[in-house]
Chains A and B, each alone.
Chain A
Amino acid sequence: MKAYLTVFRMRNRMELQYRGAVIGGIICQMFFGLILIALYRALYAGNPQAIPIEHVSCYVWMQQAFFRMLVATDPDLLDKIRSGNISYDLCRPVDMYWFYYARIMAQKLMGSLMRGIPMLVFAAILPKGWGVTTPTTFCGLITGLVGLFLGLVCMCALENITMAFTMRTLDPRGMQSLMNLLMVTMSGNLLPLTLFPDSWQKVITMLPYAQLLDGPIRLYTGEYVPADAPRILLVQGIWAVALIITGYAMWNANRKRIIVQGG
């Protein structure tokens, strides 16, 4: 257990080294946030939607703040798989799945906290309808945070599945672009899922991608009332378990057919 914690801690520390990238990321994400909100405000001016604009702007900011959680891949891990340095990890007395899971989680958590917190602070001082809103209920805040954590768990499991695929294909690009496309559209990063037609939402909100950020954000904004919370969290939990089991099985299967190429 300690080994997994240490690798988590070390990866966190490594993430802290790239401060320039963080500042760049924040500026880029803020720009995107403002543009998107301006866009939705224009849309609302012509054609008001059922969801209040405050919720949409809050949704957009949350998505931008935790963007790093969504689409960040550890380049070192991919490099290990490609170059064969993974052989060293394969001859350690640890469980490969959790060893990498801890690394992935550290990167996603630290990366998004470092970017997310300054951005949410910035968004909080923006005028109403442009920035983030405070949660309507205390319960919304708590369930939102729990949901966010479950979302992170799902997210890391998804990422580890991509890693397992990469061990087969040796090149992450194909799988990654497919995953990123699904991720960005289906998780509500491109267009908030709340703005999808109701009939679509019934399906989309059941998919794993909606569990990452969409569910938690809607719990926070109060769009899902506290009575909905157990159901939302349960779906998240089920997906978390399913994704972890899938990834774990894939890693195990990889072990049996693995070839480390070269020297």
Chain B
Amino acid sequence: MHYIEINGLRKTFVVKKKREKGKLFRKKETVEALKDVSFSVEKGELLGYIGPNGAGKSTTVKILSGILTPDGGEVSVGGRVPWKDRKEYVKHIGVVFGQRSQLWWDVPILDSYSLLKDIYRIQTDDYKDRLEELTDALQIEELLRTPLRLLSLGQRMKAELCGSLLHRPELLFLDEPTIGLDAVSKLALRDFLKRENAEHGTTVMLTTHDMEDIAALCSRVLVLGHGRKLYDGRLQTLLEQYDYDHKVSARYEDEDSGNIDHLIASMYKELDL
């Protein structure tokens, strides 16, 4: 039994189009965000989840975090089904949506944290320890008493991450967590995630367009396109195989991410995504 098991996951959305001239009703169109996606993840794995825009990545994350109900397929995370029995399930997961905010705009972030403490029913001692650990690692002690609205994007991201980890989730979803971060913050964030994964055995599922993040963090990548799984395996293997098959002119070296971007881009194009 794997920690996360996904079998034949499907999700469709109905999109209403602009009304055409002379027609009475708007046309509705069904978009298949996920068509039959299956994979599994072991406990403690750092999984990169990539794909072009609109591939269905965020939809998967939303289903796995219990927000959306899929149209078909089976999902089990640690023996639980996310959208059933939601309240029990979400106690064990943490989510960071890079483009959204969970902290209160007008109040100091420490107050938002103490609300999270009560929401997740964290014991006071445990909360203090954990908060200290996280603020040390993310270097945000001096920001704790500042209202969120006064923080920069990067500082906010760190604060958000801290908030999502206070209750020691065993599974962490990161949806584009490095948007807008400077180089130093990015590196710090990566180190932090690696440590969190190594020390606490947190399973991490990372969705991003930053190939450097993936190369630095993830032992395994999953490529999604048009709602289907295209590749599942090591990033290195993906790149080598692709480079070999298609003789892309851009040569890459291990640490050279600019070329990884080139490779990935030509791969997306080739596959007509």
Contacts and interface: CB of A to CB of B under 8 A. Distances in A.
A263 B98 CA distance: 9
Given A3-B118, A88-B97, A263-B58, A17 B88 contact: no
Interface in A242-260: 256, 258-260
B90 interface: yes
B106 interface: yes
A4 B250 CA distance: 56
A85 interface: yes
Contacts of A90: 66-67
Interface stretch (B38-46, B107-115, B135-143, B238-246): B107-115
B23 interface: no
Nearest to A76: B105
A84 B100 contact: yes
Interface in A1-35: 2-3, 5-7, 10, 13-14, 17
A92 interface: yes
Contacts of B119: 3, 6, 92-94
A7 B68 CA distance: 24
Interface string B54-75: 0000100010011111000000
A88 B68 contact: no
A13 B106 CA distance: 10
Contacts of B121: 2-3
A91 B107 contact: no
B102 A85 contact: yes
Contacts of A180: none
Contacts of B99: 262-263
B102 A10 contact: no
Interface of A is mostly: helix
B214 interface: no
A7 B111 CA distance: 10
Contacts of B65: 87, 91
Nearest to A7: B115
Contacts of B90: 91-93
B120 interface: yes
A171 interface: no
Interface residues of B, number: 33
A91 B100 contact: no
A171 to B, nearest CB: 14
Contact of A263 (B93, B115, B120, B176): B176
Nearest to A99: B119
A93 B87 contact: yes
Contacts of B58: 263
Contact count band on A = 20 to 34
Interface in B77-126: 87-88, 90-91, 93, 95, 97-102, 104-107, 111, 114-115, 118-121
A7 to B, nearest CB: 6
A2 B105 CA distance: 21
Nearest to B65: A91
Given A3-B115, A95-B87, A263-B58, A256 B100 contact: no
Interface string A69-95: 000000010000001110110111111
A6 B102 CA distance: 15
B119 to A, nearest CB: 4
Nearest to B95: A91
A10 B13 contact: no
B62 A6 contact: no
Contacts of B102: 85, 88
A260 B115 contact: no
A90 B95 CA distance: 11
A10 B67 contact: no
B96 to A, nearest CB: 9
A14 B91 contact: no
A87 B176 CA distance: 15
Contacts of A83: 100
Contact of A87 (B69, B87, B88, B97): B97
B213 interface: no
A10 B107 contact: yes
A143 B107 CA distance: 37
Contacts of A17: 106
Nearest to B207: A263
B111 A260 contact: no
A90 B58 CA distance: 15
Contacts of A95: 87
Interface of A: 2-3, 5-7, 10, 13-14, 17, 76, 83-85, 87-88, 90-95, 256, 258-260, 262-263
25 contacts: A3-B115, A3-B119, A6-B114, A6-B115, A13-B107, A14-B106, A17-B106, A85-B100, A87-B65, A87-B67, A87-B100, A88-B95, A91-B66, A91-B90, A91-B95, A92-B90, A92-B119, A93-B87, A93-B90, A93-B91, A93-B120, A260-B68, A263-B58, A263-B100, A263-B175
